[in-house]
Amino acid sequence: MELLDLYDNDLKPTGLTVERGAIVPPGMMIPIVAVFVYNNEGKYLIQKVSEDKGGYFATTAGHVKAGERDFTISMCRELKEELGLSVTQSELKLLRIRRYGYKFTLLYMLKSNIPIEMLKLQKEEVQSVQWLSRDEIEQLCDQGLFNKTHYQLLLDCEERLYSLHLK
């Protein structure tokens, strides 16, 4: 049983928890972390989620576990678990916090040129990974194969990348 901390609408911890998958009480929220890993070619590291989890394409993301108050640690944990990619908190750049119903997503960016063959995928979660351009991701989205929420997050990332001159 995985527990998640509950936050109020101002994104402050309430001291309450909920079991993952349970109904989140009205007026409460749970945190999610997501990251777009990009390389020098301007491509993004995209994963195909395992068939058992839906088989769609998305970026690396996950729930923040109860007690994890430093969200960058949660993001580092997700990268390590799903991709075998070890990163430091200082390598992650928080770009935005976005609300989706009872969830709030902390969106990060990470620059890396790691070769795919160096990654160790968590087969229960991730079927495969590949470096894709924004146009290729958009095509997957148009075909209904890319997570639409994650596509919106990608648009947020690109907007911030250009404004911050990170590319």
Q: Is residue 19 part of a domain?
A: no
- Give the Cα separation of 94 and 91 in Å (integer): 10
What are the tokens at 29? 């929220």
Q: Is residue 27 part of a domain?
A: no
Q: Is residue 45 part of a domain?
A: yes
- Element holding 71 (H helix, E strand): helix 71-83
Question: For helices 134-142 and 148-164, what crossing angle results, to 10°?
Answer: 160
Strand-pair category, 103-111 with 30-38: parallel
Q: Is residue 145 part of a domain?
A: yes
Q: What is the CA 112 to chain-centroid distance, rounded?
A: 15
Question: What is the per-residue pLDDT for 43?
Answer: 94
Question: What is the per-residue pLDDT for 166?
Answer: 47
Please report, in tens digits, the pLDDT of each residue of the chain (167 residues total).
Answer: 899 999 999 999 999 999 999 999 999 999 999 999 999 998 999 999 999 999 999 999 999 999 999 999 999 999 999 999 999 999 999 999 999 899 999 999 999 999 999 999 999 999 999 999 999 999 999 999 999 999 999 988 777 666 655 44
CB-CB contact of 76 with 89 (8 Å): yes
Angstrom CA distances, 48 to 74, 122, 161, stand at 21, 11, 24
Q: Is residue 23 part of a domain?
A: no
CA dihedral (35, 48, 7, 18) positive or negative: negative
Q: Is residue 2 part of a domain?
A: no
Give the CA angle between residues 74, 64, 130 to the nearest 5°.
Answer: 60
In CATH, what number is assigned to the domain containing residue 133? 3.90.79.10
Beta strands in the chain (DSSP E): 3-7, 13-19, 30-38, 44-49, 57-58, 60-63, 93-100, 103-111, 126-132
Range of the domain at 154: 32-60+68-96+104-164
Q: Is residue 21 part of a domain?
A: no
Paired residues of 99 in beta bridges: 104
If one counts the domains in the chain, the total is: 1
